[in-house]
Amino acid sequence: MKKVYLISLGCPKNLTDSEELIGNLLAEGYQMVQDENEADIAVLNTCAFIAPAVKEAVAEIKKLITLKKNGQLKKIIVCGCLVEREKTKLKKKFPQIDSIVSTKALDKINIAVKENGAYLKDSSDLLLSPEYKLRLTAPHSAYLKIADGCDNRCSYCLIPSLKGRFRSKSMEMIIGETKDLIENGAKEISLIAQDTTNYGTDLYGKPALTGLLKKLIKIPKLKWLRLMYIYPERLNKELLKLIKNEKIICKYLDIPLQHISDNVLKGMNRQSTEKSIRSKIDEIKKMIPEISLRTNFITGFPGETEKDFQKLLDFIKEVEFNYVGIFPYSKEKGTAAFNLKHQIPEKIKQKRVNLLIDAQSAVIDKINARMINKKIRLLMDTPQYGRTFGEAPDIDGSFFIESKKKLKSGSFVRAKIVETAGYNRKAVVRD
C-alpha cells in the first residue's frame, strides 16, 4: 500500500479541494500519513493568488525535491492555483515534479499519481459534489464549498483566471453534503465560495443564498451555520432578516470590503462606494446589534493618496470591526492593475499596513473592555479552547476556558469572560 503525504496551502476554499484530493486517493487504496519521511508520494495543493503565496508554494516544492533526491520520496504531485498560474512552465522549471493537476482537474488525481504528466482543463465544467472526500478539519466543524470561480473581475485579483467563471452546486447537492457532514459529526458548517452571496445566479437566474439557507436550517442536528465571503452589494434585507431570526445561523458576517475611498474602490473595479458601504454597515448593525463583523482591507493600491489612506484609517477606528485582515497591495502580472501608474513604494505600503494594524489593535482593546463579565456560549474546539458564534474556525482565534469539569471537543458550554488582552481571552465555565 503506497503512502501519501498531503500539504494544503492557502484558504479554507483550498482546504476543501485538498479534502477531495485525499479522499479520491484513499478510495483507491492509498494510505495517508502525517510524516513526510514515511511517504512514498507527496501531494502539494498550492495557493498562488499573490506573490507571497507563490513564494510559499515554491519553498514547499523545493523542500519536497530535496526529499526526493535523498530517496525519501518517489513522486511529487503539485496541484491547485500555482498549476493554473504557471501551467506546464511549472514542470519545466522543476523537472523533479512528476505530475501537475489544475484546480479544474482534481478528479484526475488518481491518474496523476500513476501516470506522470500534466492534467489541465481549459474550460470550467459544472460544479459537482465530490464523490470522495476526507475531512481535514476538526470532527465537529466543517467547510462546505457551495460555489467556485468568480465573475467580479476586481482589478487586483487573479482569482477569475485561476478558478474560472462563477459556478454553483445545486441545492440538492449541498443539502446532501450537509447531511453527510452532520452524520459524520459536524455541528458547525461554514459555507464558502469566492462570492457566497452570488450563489445560484448561474443555476437559477438570480442569487439564491437565502433560499438555500431556508432549506439547510431545517436539517436536524445542525447547530451552527456560518456565512463566509459575503459581498455587501448582494447582502439584502431578506438575508439579514433570516440571519437575525434563525438561531442556527451565526450572527457573524465575513464581508471583504478592501477599501473605503471611492478613488481606490473605483481603481479596484469594486462595485461598492463609500456611501453604499456605510449604508450597508449601518443597516447590518441596526438589524443585528450583536453581529460580529470580519473584513479585509488592501492598502498601497496604485494611486492611493495620503487622503485615501487617512480615510481608511479613520474608517477602521470608527466602525470597530471585530476582526480585520490587512494586506499590502501585491502587484500581480495578469491583473488589470498590473500596469497602473502611481505604484506605491513597498516601504510606504508597509508603513500604512502597520498603522492600520495599530488602529485595529486599539479597536480590539475597546471591544475587549466591553466583554468583561459577559456571559457567552461556546463551541469547544479542544478541551481547553472554544469559540463563540463571533469567531470563525482557524481564522479569528478562540477563548481559553477554565473549568472544574473536564470539557469535550465538540461540546457546547456556557461561560463568563474574565480576562482579555488583545486576542488572548479567558472565560470561566459556570457551575
Q: What is the pLDDT of residues 313-372, one digit of tens each?
A: 999 999 999 999 999 999 999 999 999 999 999 999 999 999 999 999 999 999 999 999
What local confidence, expressed as pLDDT, does residue 133 receive? Answer: 87
CA distance 129 to 24: 13
Is residue 261 within 8 A of residue 274, CB to CB? The reply is yes
- Count CB atoms within 10 A of the CB of residue 353: 18
Going by the DSSP 8-state scheme, the letter that residue 250 receives in this structure is E
Q: Which helix or strand (DSSP H or E) is residue 227 part of?
A: strand 224-227
* Mean pLDDT, rounded, for 7-24: 94
What local confidence, expressed as pLDDT, does residue 131 receive? Answer: 84
Looking at residue 320, its amino acid is E
Is residue 296 within 8 A of residue 270, CB to CB? The reply is no
3-state secondary structure of 376: strand
Statement: residue 194 has pLDDT above 80: yes
Q: What percent of the chain has pLDDT over 90?
A: 92
Task: Please report, for residues 18, 124, 302, 363, the alpha-carbon distance to residue 10 in angstroms, rounded to integers and kept in the order given.
Answer: 10, 21, 25, 27
CA distance 315 to 217: 35
The span from the first CA to the last CA of the chain, in angstroms, equals 50
- φ/ψ region of 372 (left if φ > 0, alpha if ψ in -120 to 50, else beta) reads beta
Is residue 352 within 8 A of residue 396, CB to CB? The reply is no
- Count CB atoms within 10 A of the CB of residue 264: 26
* Mean pLDDT, rounded, for 220-232: 96
Statement: residue 123 has pLDDT above 70: no
CA distance 104 to 5: 21
Helices 209-216/237-245 angle, 10° precision: 20
How far does CA 260 lie from the centroid of its chain?
22
Statement: residue 430 has pLDDT above 80: no
CA distance 162 to 111: 22
What local confidence, expressed as pLDDT, does residue 414 receive? Answer: 96
Domains in the chain, CATH or no CATH each: 3-119 (3.40.50.12160), 141-368 (3.80.30.20), 375-429 (2.40.50.140)
- Count CB atoms within 10 A of the CB of residue 27: 13
Strands 412-421, 323-328: pairing is: unpaired
Q: What is the pLDDT of residues 136-188, one digit of tens each?
A: 999 999 999 999 999 999 999 999 988 889 999 999 999 999 999 999 999 99
Is residue 6 within 8 A of residue 40, CB to CB? The reply is no
Question: What residues are paired with 105 via a beta bridge?
Answer: none
Cell output for 103: 484546480
Contacts of 320 (CB under 8 A, 6+ apart): 363, 366, 367
Cell output for 42: 507527496
Q: What is the pLDDT of residues 387-417, one digit of tens each?
A: 999 999 999 989 999 999 999 999 999 999 9
Is residue 277 within 8 A of residue 257, CB to CB? The reply is yes
Q: Which helix or strand (DSSP H or E) is residue 182 part of?
A: helix 171-183
What local confidence, expressed as pLDDT, does residue 124 receive? Answer: 60
Going by the DSSP 8-state scheme, the letter that residue 45 receives in this structure is E
- Count CB atoms within 10 A of the CB of residue 58: 17
Tell me the torsion sign for CA atoms 380, 382, 387, 389.
Answer: negative
Q: What percent of the chain has pLDDT over 70?
A: 99
